[in-house]
Amino acid sequence: MKLQTAEDNGILTVRLEGSLDGKTAPEAREHLQRFLAANSKLILDLSKVDYLSSAGLRLLLVLYRELTARKGKLALLGVSEDIRTVMSHTGFLSFFTLVDSEVEAVAAVS
């Protein structure tokens, strides 16, 4: 899994690529936690994520909880239809703001 970060105008954008699963989620979590200390507005770009396991879904929810506890905001960008369906069945979908473009993403966390 690859992870790229960019910060613009107080908004942190993290692009993930590959699978977010039991193997990669702890690593991603460690990275994200480092950045989150200074940011409360996060766009998670999942358009290059092809697989999200139970552990991956749990990481997203933990992020959501951490950010909302600090009155921050989280937007998920480019979530594939398949992953949306899985998130819907398992109850994770309703927590998140899903957006299809970067403009929408910025608006969602601003």
Partner 1 sequence: MEERIDFYPTHEVGGIRFRRGRPLPFGATIVPHGVNFSIFSTAAHSCTLVLFRKHEPQPLIEIEIPREFRIGDVYSIIVFDLDCENLEYGYRLSGPWDPSAGHLFDKTRILCDPYAKVIGGRDIWRAQPDWNDIYQYRARLSFDDFDWEGDSPLEIPMKDLVIYEAHVRGFTAHPSAKVSAPGTFGGLREKIPYLKSLGVNCIEILPIFEFDEWENSSLHPETGEPLLNYWGYSTIGFFAPKAGYAATGSLGMQMDEVRNLIKELHRAGIEVMLDVVFNHTAEGDQRGPYISYRGIDNRTYYMLTPEGYYQNFSGCGNTLDCNHPVVRNMVLDCLRYWASEYHIDGFRFDLASILGRDQNGAPLSNPPLLESLAYDPILSKCKLVAEAWDAGGLYQVGSFPAYGRWAEWNGKYRDTIRCFIKGDAGLVPELAERIQGSPDLYWHRGPTASVNFITCHDGFTLRDLVSYNSKHNETNGECNNDGCNDNYSWNCGHEGETNDPKVNALRYRQIKNAASLLFLSRGVPMLLMGDEVGRTQKGNNNAYCHDSIANWMDWDAVERESELLRFFCKLIAFRNAHPVLRSDNFFVHRDNVGSGKPDLAFHGIRVGQPDFGDGSRCLAFLLCGRHASPEDDDIYVAINAYWDALPFEVPAPPEGVHWRVAINTSMPSPDDIFDSEGGPRLDFDDVIVGGRSIMVLVSCRRR
In the range 59-78, which residues lie near partner 1 by CB under 8 A? 61
Q: Which of 44, 63, 92, 96 binds partner 1 (CB under 8 A)?
A: 92
Is 91 among the residues that bind partner 1 (CB under 8 A)? yes
Cα four-point dihedral sign 5, 8, 11, 13: negative
Q: For partner 1, what does the binding mask look like between residues 20 and 49, x meaning CB under 8 A?
A: -xxx--------------------------
- Which of 47, 96, 56, 57 has its CA nearest to residue 73? 96
Q: Which of 2, 9, 38, 89 binds partner 1 (CB under 8 A)?
A: 89
Binding site for partner 1 (CB under 8 A): 21-23, 53-55, 57-58, 61, 85-86, 88-92, 95
